Amino acid sequence: MNQLAEQTGVTHYRDHDGAEMLRVSDLHAFYGESHILHGVDFEVRRGELVTLLGRNGAGRSTTLKSIMNMVGRRTGSIMINGNETLDVKPHRIPRLGVGYCPEERGIFASLDVEENLLLPPTVRSGGMSIDDIYAMFPNLYERRRSQGTRLSGGEQQMLAMARILRTGARLLLLDEITEGLAPVIVQALGEVLVKLKERGMTIVLVEQNFRFAAPLADRHYVMEHGRIIEEISAAELPSRREHLHSLLGV
Amino acid sequence: MTMIFGVPVAVFMGQLMLGLINGAFYALLSLGLAVIFGLLKIVNFAHGAMYMLGAFATLLGMQYLGIGYWAALLLAPLVVGALGMVIERLLLRRIGHLDHLYGLLLTFGLALIFEGSLVNVFGVSGARYPTPEALQGGLQLGFMFLPTYRAWVLVAALVVCLGTWYVIERTRLGAYLRAGTENPALMQAFGVNVPQLITLTYGFGVALAAFAGVLAAPLYPVSPTMGSNLLIVVFAVVVIGGMGSILGAVLTGLGMGLIEGLTKVYYPEAANTVIFLVMILVLMLRPAGLFGKEA
């Protein structure tokens, strides 16, 4: 049974020793006939936390899904850890050390909390132990026997993130993790992200909540109409805040 | 002689036992259907044919290869399960993105092809398969005579059903299955090879049907049509239990067998229809089935 999860086939993925974790070049993505991404270019260095900002429908979630090969068709190039992944099957992508947390959280109703937590197969060594995870998310420990979807929204979000930390993923793609959550939970999530950065994780954060993302991120990419239109580093942020607000319409 | 509601105890218990045996077959078959429906969302109309192929594999294995009952109990499900995996890989996967009705039609067509081909070669009358030596005879329980083979069928079916339930509800592989049923795309994003999981699941569901076929071979005439006769009732059982519920399939299977047996005692004329009456009642009162979740 573990073969199902653990076979990586003949391809042996290598760890790039350079500083670059993810490079997306001229990425186009399609759902059926609709052309969603129109040449997305960005890169993320090892250990960085980078946000994809933009209005609804700008293509931020689709960018993450494209990296996971969950959309219909893709062209261009997506290099993960030095490996071209455009022709890699969806279930092989996590093996490159990628963890994905979908916008809808994707907690499984037919599994209890601990089953949800243990569900994603280990993709690499060096993941967090279950004890470490429970230490980081004490609520999940208390509710480990509850049905996954009985949790509160905040707890479900914690669970959706916690379960990809166990797998040894080093590149986390997090889609709208603060959406619809109370400020106190959002703050807790921010603290979690800081801890993950300290552990050397590389994080791509799709966010609507700019105030949440601003103090955490090293760089921001702004998307519009399926393209990256602006790159703003943390250092440039104070002087360009007004400009950014006008881009995001906040 | 002791009577239960005007019926001798031996007759009553005998019919109950027969009902339970039928129920064991219903349970095994509807369990396979439920497992397949859960992940593939296909109503597998080829299930009866797979049951029949299991029985035929047992019969032909003995006649041509000298394979005995016990070996067939293992080999027939493996062979038929492998056939199922080939069917999934070559046919069902290609229509996976279409409406589930196409899966129903395709498997129904396959059932007709398997049945028709075997009718062509062997005719419809059916052949007898001897009861294995170790399971001949019976036990005199005092209130009834229990043929050993029937007791064995009941035990074997229950063990396999419970084993399947355990694997699906309590193990990691089962968690993959349940999660894959809910959100296959996300399971892929976690690194689970979902297409492979689907192939194995179909193979396993079909192997359960073949296992029931092996158990049936010494009880019923082995004929190409033995599956389609049974399958109609099994579908009624699945509707009553609720599509996709594992434990529901098993309990409903056994329960319906018992109800059928009891009807045979008290109103034999209705024995063949009682399950369908229950189905109508359940559909009126609980459309999702007794164990099904309301959509």
The CATH code of the domain that includes B262 is 1.10.3470
pLDDT at B87: 96
* Mean pLDDT score across all residues of chain B: 89
Cα(A49)–Cα(A215) distance, rounded to whole angstroms? 11
Q: Return the CATH number at A242.
A: 3.40.50.300
Residue A5: pLDDT above 50? no
**Contact across the interface for B193 and A115, Cβ inside 8 Å:** no
**Contact across the interface for B193 and A4, Cβ inside 8 Å:** yes
pLDDT at B188: 92
Residue B294 covered by a domain: no
Minimum distance, in Å, between the CA of residue B252 and any CA atom of chain A: 21
Chains A & B: contacts with CB separation below 8 Å: 68
Residue B114: pLDDT above 50? yes
Residue A172 covered by a domain: yes
pLDDT at B203: 96
Q: What sign has the CA pseudo-torsion A194, A198, A201, A202?
A: positive
ipTM of the complex: 0.84
pLDDT tens-digit series, residues B137-194: 888 777 778 888 998 999 999 999 999 999 988 888 999 998 988 899 999 999 999 9
* Cβ–Cβ < 8 Å for B3, B9: yes
* Cβ–Cβ < 8 Å for B233, B275: yes
Domain range enclosing A114: 47-70+92-248
pLDDT at B155: 93
Minimum distance, in Å, between the CA of residue A217 and any CA atom of chain B: 25
Residue B291 covered by a domain: no
Minimum distance, in Å, between the CA of residue A5 and any CA atom of chain B: 5
pLDDT at B246: 81
Residue B290 covered by a domain: no
**Contact across the interface for B190 and A121, Cβ inside 8 Å:** yes
Among A104-113, A184-193, B244-253, the range scoring the smallest mean pLDDT is B244-253
> Most A CBs within 10 Å: which of B187, B190, B193, B291, as the mutation test of the A interface?
B190
* Cβ–Cβ < 8 Å for A234, A69: no
* Cβ–Cβ < 8 Å for A147, A109: yes
Domain range enclosing B204: 8-285
For the segment A54-74, the average pLDDT, to the nearest whole number, is 93
Could you tell me the pLDDT band of residue A7, with boundaries at 50, 70 and 90? very low
Bridge partners (DSSP) of residue A174 are A101, A205
- Residue of chain A whose Cα is closest to the Cα of B178: A110
Cα(B221)–Cα(B289) distance, rounded to whole angstroms? 32
Please state the domain count of chain B: 1
Residue A77 covered by a domain: no
- Which residues of A fall below an 8 Å CB-CB distance to B? 1, 4-5, 7, 68, 70, 90-95, 100, 102, 106, 108-111, 115, 118-121, 123, 164, 167
Residue B6: pLDDT above 90? no
**Contact across the interface for A4 and B183, Cβ inside 8 Å:** no
Minimum distance, in Å, between the CA of residue A87 and any CA atom of chain B: 15
Residue B157 covered by a domain: yes
**Contact across the interface for A110 and B181, Cβ inside 8 Å:** yes
**Contact across the interface for A70 and B191, Cβ inside 8 Å:** no
Q: In a 3-state reduction of DSSP, which class is residue B8?
A: strand
Residue A119 covered by a domain: yes
Please state the domain count of chain A: 1
Q: In a 3-state reduction of DSSP, which class is residue B250?
A: helix
pLDDT tens-digit series, residues A91-103: 999 999 999 999 9
Q: Which residues in chain B are contacts of A95 at CB distance < 8 A?
A: 191
* Cβ–Cβ < 8 Å for A231, A53: no
pLDDT at B294: 54
pLDDT at A87: 92
Minimum distance, in Å, between the CA of residue B254 and any CA atom of chain A: 25
**Contact across the interface for B189 and A100, Cβ inside 8 Å:** yes
Could you tell me the pLDDT band of residue B123, with boundaries at 50, 70 and 90? confident
> Most B CBs within 10 Å: which of A91, A100, A105, A122, as the mutation test of the B interface?
A91
pLDDT tens-digit series, residues A14-35: 555 568 899 999 999 998 889 9
Cα(B265)–Cα(B60) distance, rounded to whole angstroms? 36
User: B177, B39, B179, B197: which is closest to A163 by C-alpha?
Assistant: B179
For the segment A185-204, the average pLDDT, to the nearest whole number, is 92
Q: Which residues in chain B are contacts of A100 at CB distance < 8 A?
A: 189-190
Q: How many CA atoms lie within 13 A of A151 on its CB side?
A: 30
pLDDT at B97: 82
Among B38-42, B64-68, B163-167, B183-187, the range scoring the smallest mean pLDDT is B38-42
Q: Which residues in chain A are contacts of B189 at CB distance < 8 A?
A: 68, 70, 90, 93-94, 100, 102
* Cβ–Cβ < 8 Å for B146, B138: yes
> Percentage of chain B surpassing pLDDT 70?
98
